[in-house]
Amino acid sequence: MEHACYRNQSNKMTDKRPVNLIIAGPPASGKGSQCSAIKKSYGLIHLSSGDMLRDAIKAKSDVGIKAQEYMNRGDLVPDEIVEHSVLERLQKDDVKSKGFLLDGFPRTASQAEFLIQNSLTPDGIIFLNVPDDVVIERVGGRRVDPVTSETYHIKYNPAPKEIQDRLIIRSDDTEEKIKNRLVAFHKEIKAILDQFDGKIYTVKYVENMTIADVTEQVLKMVDQIKSKI
Ligand code: AMP
């Protein structure tokens, strides 16, 4: 077999392959914030299927045109549309050399199978377990920066003053749509996690836990996962 070499975060050649991760959890469980922290510490390529679809809508591409009506309702976009876009991105060289951090994918059992079938089984899944009432409360205060796609919360994670005027509320962040998205989440999550048995690292929700508290746990989990590859 060909001997593979990889560049680590300090740009040095190494035999150790990069770590591949999934971050899972209900909407507004903090996946985006934790992905920023993981990306900063480990240099993984962060791939958010939701961001990819929103970019496709902005670009008015075929994928965007097909995805828009589902997203507007807070429904899942059909598997084959998302799978195609995600696979295309995961096959790029930067992902192969730096490792992936998938956020928002897989959302169905068949998307999880799709990863396995394409030899893209992750080394670990970090699961942010947040109760529904907390999700609903958080979504009410969620704001997005349309320039950077960075997510903020008016109370728990306020944006810097100078960009506050440009923040927007996501069109699928209404109470009705979030309830619909939670139904979709609960319907599939068990079957998804079952397929990656033995690789799940769960952050349990504790009241008044800060984003920094969660990050501390998440980064320890990444270290643990990395030590096993
Ligand atoms: P997110 O930004 O992850 O909350 O995703 C926003 C919306 O994009 C979801 O409510 C779905 O409509 C769609 N979406 C994102 N990822 C997926 C996926 N893996 N499968 C199906 N639909 C998705």
What pLDDT shows up at residue 72? 87
What pLDDT shows up at residue 7? 63
Q: How does pLDDT run across 26-52, given as a tens digit for each residue?
A: 999 999 899 999 999 999 999 999 999
Confidence grade of residue 8 (pLDDT, cut at 50, 70, 90): low
Ligand 1 neighbours by CB, cut-off 6 Å: 27, 49-50, 53, 70-71, 74-77, 82, 104-105, 107, 111, 172, 181
Enumerate long-range contacts of 78-84, CB under 8 Å, 24 or more apart: 79/108, 79/110, 79/111, 79/114, 82/49, 82/53, 82/107, 82/111, 83/111, 83/114
Active site residue 17: no
The whole-model pTM stands at 0.88
Q: Is the pLDDT of residue 166 over 80?
A: yes
Q: How many helices (H) and strands (E) does the chain have?
A: 9, 9
Nearest Cα neighbor of 129 from 224, 28, 47, 22 is 28
> Which residue out of 31, 98, 143, 177 is catalytically annotated?
31
